[in-house]
Structure 1
C-alpha cells in the first residue's frame, strides 16, 4: 500500500515541476515547443485523476472502519498510533487533492496558451489583409 503513496508523491512532484516550467517566462519558440510536448503528455497523465479518486475512497473506507481508541482501555502508545494514522490519512488526502488540482492547472495553462496562439495568428492574418 505504501508504494501507491510513493508513486502519487512522485507524480505530484513531477506535476509541480511541469507547472513551474510552464509558468516561467521563456521565448515564444521554446514556449510553444514546451506546451506542445506537455499537451501530448497530458492525455496519458489523465490516469492520475481516477487513481487519486480511488485512493480517496480507500482513505474514506479506512477511516470508517478504523478502531476508535477512547477511554481508559487504550494505552498511550495505542493513542499515538491512532493519531499517527489519522495524520497520515489527512496528508494522503491533501496529496490526492493536490494531484488533481495540479493536473487541472497544467491543463488550463496549456489550453490558454494554445488559445493565445490562435488569437495571435488570427490577428496576424487580419493585419496582413
Structure 2
C-alpha cells in the first residue's frame, strides 16, 4: 500500500512542476515547444486519473465507514485516509488543469494563425 501512495505523491509533484512550468511567462518560441512537449506527455500520463479516481472512491468509503462505526474514537488511519483523499483529488485536478491550459494555448495559436492569414488578404 505504501508504494502506491509514494508513486501517487511523486506523480502529483511532477504534475505540479509541469503546471508551474506551463503557467510561468516565457518567450513565445520556448512556450510553444514546452506546450507541444507536454501535450505529447499528457496521453501516457492519463493513467493517473483512473487510478486516483478509484483510490478516491475507496478512501471516501473507508472514511465514511470509519465515522459511522465510531463517533467518538478517531484513529490515525482515518487521518491518513483523509490525507490520501486530498492527494487523489489533487492528482485529478492538476491533470485537468494541465490539459486545459495546453488546449487553450493551442487554440490561441490556431486563432493567431487564422488572424495572420486574414491580414495577408
TM-score, with length taken from structure 1: 0.85
- Where do 5+ consecutive residues of structure 2 fail to align? none
Aligned partners of 2:118 and 2:71: how far apart in 1?
A: 73
The residue number in structure 2 matching 1:24 is 24
- Where do 5+ consecutive residues of structure 1 fail to align? 72-78
Aligned partners of 1:26 and 1:69: how far apart in 2?
A: 53
Answer yes or no: is 1:94 the counterpart of 2:98. no
> Quick one: higher RCO (CA 8 Å, sep 6+), 1 or 2?
1
Structural mapping, 1:99-110, within 5 Å: 99-110=91-102
For the Cα contact (< 8 Å) 2:48–2:91, is it kept in 1?
A: yes
Residue 46 (structure 1) shift: 0.7
Aligned partners of 1:70 and 1:116: how far apart in 2?
A: 53
Answer yes or no: is 1:57 the counterpart of 2:49. no
CA RMSD between the two structures: 1.8
For the Cα contact (< 8 Å) 2:63–2:82, is it kept in 1?
A: no
Answer with 1 or 2: which has the greater Rg: 1
Aligned partners of 2:106 and 2:71: how far apart in 1?
A: 56
